[in-house]
Amino acid sequence: MACDKNHSGLKAIMSSLPTDQGGVGRHKCAACAYEAGYHAGYDIDGTLSIDNVLINLEESQAGAQRHKSPHTAFALGYYNGVRQRTIDDN
């Protein structure tokens, strides 16, 4: 089933990501992967790894996130989540 969330706020970030070269991630929603990574980084939730996130992701929808690498999206989301938490804590 294709993801039906509104990811319009992530368009610029999605456009900056590399295309997934194939494998299990190619048809998963990279925008959802980004949000899961951000959550994992912000909350330092060690149970949220890319592997257990990827398996539960919806299929990608048309738009900027189509065929983008969910692995990269998760990592970038994680990075931004940690960075934002650091800002919010100070």
Which residues would be at the binding site for Zn ion (CB under 5 A)?
3, 5, 29, 31-32
Give the number of C-alpha atoms closer than 13 A to the C-alpha of residue 2, restricted to the C-beta side. Answer: 10
The least CB distance from residue 37 to Zn ion, in Å, is 13
Alpha carbon distance 84, 67 (integer Å):
27
Measured from the CB atom, is 24 or 86 closer to Zn ion?
24
Q: Which is nearer to Zn ion, 13 or 32 (CB)?
A: 32
Cβ neighbour number for residue 53 with a 10 Å cutoff: 22
Instruction: Give the burial class of 18: count Cβ atoms within 10 A of its Cβ; 0-12 exposed, 13-18 middle, 19 or more buried.
Output: exposed
Compute the least distance from the CB of residue 44 to Zn ion, in Å.
23
- Residue placing its CB nearer to Zn ion in the complex, 62 or 87: 62
